[in-house]
């Protein structure tokens, strides 16, 4: 006989509400023996719904099928310094952003580097506006142009032609329209709009393809991960770090994050996934750093939990924290 407590523990955890309800898939993406993420910095999905986890462990890119079966790993000999951002193009090419390495590498799904943007290991002067100083993420326009958010030691967005030639840049430090305070992530929709996670200004700014400011979204706390779906009515999935003060986190204050939020193309909040404070329990998050969505609407969340924990609490965790979660859309 199963005890009532055990039966309750086996019930799935559902986040969100209405049309936007997601089941937490516990244990998805089992790693081979000896593998570790150390931190899941970013995640992206190809046209076959294979999932690529760009991480800070010994195997920089770890690939699963949509059911969580390990397929392969690669990137060990490429020279990544610190995994940060990952995106896929319509041809399934990967764009991997290395912040401390000051470069974006375009790679095949099997791990062959076919183009490098930036000079690996040679950052531009701090806040010079030149690419790159701790670049963070990459996005593709419908025409294949490449946008790079840049970043921790710059306050710019750079636009490149598909062949990697720099076209122009925009942005400067500040809090006004078109200014940035840690431009942390970037995405595009099918209309060519560019969405920028302006993390420490607690907003997402929206621009046209020429870098002209359109609007901005608030009602979020430290947007870190960002993914915009394709199609006529895109959704924006935002991974929010939430409060950075341990006092707020340990006080157990709900509804501030860390969490994943879903917004309409107009910036209306449609759902909050995760209302509880920081933690490792089902439905909780520590540091949602990168997000991606597959063809069925399932959400993958990469977390830099092991790096972020000491920043919050002043000490390293006593075990390796979870760095990847899957949230399956409930039909």
pTM equals 0.95
User: Whose CA is closest to 148, among 163, 126, 166?
Assistant: 166
Sheet harboring 236-240: ordered strands across? Answer: 223-228, 236-240, 259-263, 269-273
Residue 15: CATH number of its domain: 2.120.10.30
pLDDT in tens, 160-194: 999 999 999 999 999 999 999 999 999 999 999 99
Domain span at 66? 4-329
52-97 per-position pLDDT tens digit: 999 999 999 999 999 999 999 999 999 999 999 999 999 999 999 9
* String of DSSP letters for 17-84: ETTEEEEEETT-SPPPTT---S-EEEEEE-TT--EEEEESSSSSEEEE-TT--EEEEE-TTTT-SSEE
Distance (Å, whole) CA 297 – CA 329: 6
For the cut 70, the answer to whether the pLDDT of residue 203 exceeds it is yes
For the chain, the domain total comes to 1
Q: Token match 């955890």: residue? A: 13
Identify which of 65, 18, 6 has the alpha carbon closest to the alpha carbon of residue 272. 18
């Amino acid at each position: 006989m199963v005890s009532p407590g055990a039966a309750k523990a086996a019930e799935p955890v559902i986040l969100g509400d209405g049309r936007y309800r997601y089941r937490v898939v516990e244990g998805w993406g089992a790693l081979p023996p000896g593998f570790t993420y150390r931190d899941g910095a970013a995640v992206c999905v190809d046209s076959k719904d294979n999932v690529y986890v760009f991480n800070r462990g010994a195997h920089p890119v770890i690939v699963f099928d949509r059911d969580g079966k390990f397929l392969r790993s690669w990137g060990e000999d490429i020279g990544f310094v610190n995994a940060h951002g990952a995106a896929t193009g319509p041809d399934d090419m990967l764009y991997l952003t290395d912040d401390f390495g000051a470069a974006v590498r375009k790679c095949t799904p099997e791990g062959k580097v076919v183009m490098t943007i930036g000079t690996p290991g040679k950052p531009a002067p701090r806040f010079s506006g030149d690419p790159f100083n701790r670049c963070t993420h990459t996005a593709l326009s419908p025409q294949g142009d490449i946008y790079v958010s840049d970043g921790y030691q710059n306050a710019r967005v750079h636009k490149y032609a598909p062949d990697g030639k720099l076209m122009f840049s925009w942005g400067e430090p500040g809090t006004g329209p078109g200014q940035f305070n840690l431009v942390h992530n970037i995405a595009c929709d099918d209309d060519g709009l560019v969405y920028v996670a302006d993390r420490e200004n607690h907003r997402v700014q929206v621009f046209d393809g020429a870098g002209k400011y359109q609007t901005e979204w608030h009602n979020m706390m430290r947007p870190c991960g960002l993914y915009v779906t394709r199609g006529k009515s895109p959704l924006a999935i935002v991974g929010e770090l939430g409060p950075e003060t341990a006092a707020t986190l340990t006080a157990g204050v709900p509804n501030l994050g860390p969490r994943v939020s879903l917004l309409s193309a107009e910036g209306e909040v449609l759902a909050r996934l995760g209302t509880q404070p920081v933690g490792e329990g089902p439905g909780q998050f520590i540091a949602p750093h990168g997000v991606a969505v597959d063809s069925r609407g399932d959400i993958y969340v990469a977390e830099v939990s092991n790096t972020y924990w000491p920043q919050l609490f002043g000490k390293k965790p006593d075990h390796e924290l979870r760095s990847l979660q899957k949230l399956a859309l409930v039909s």
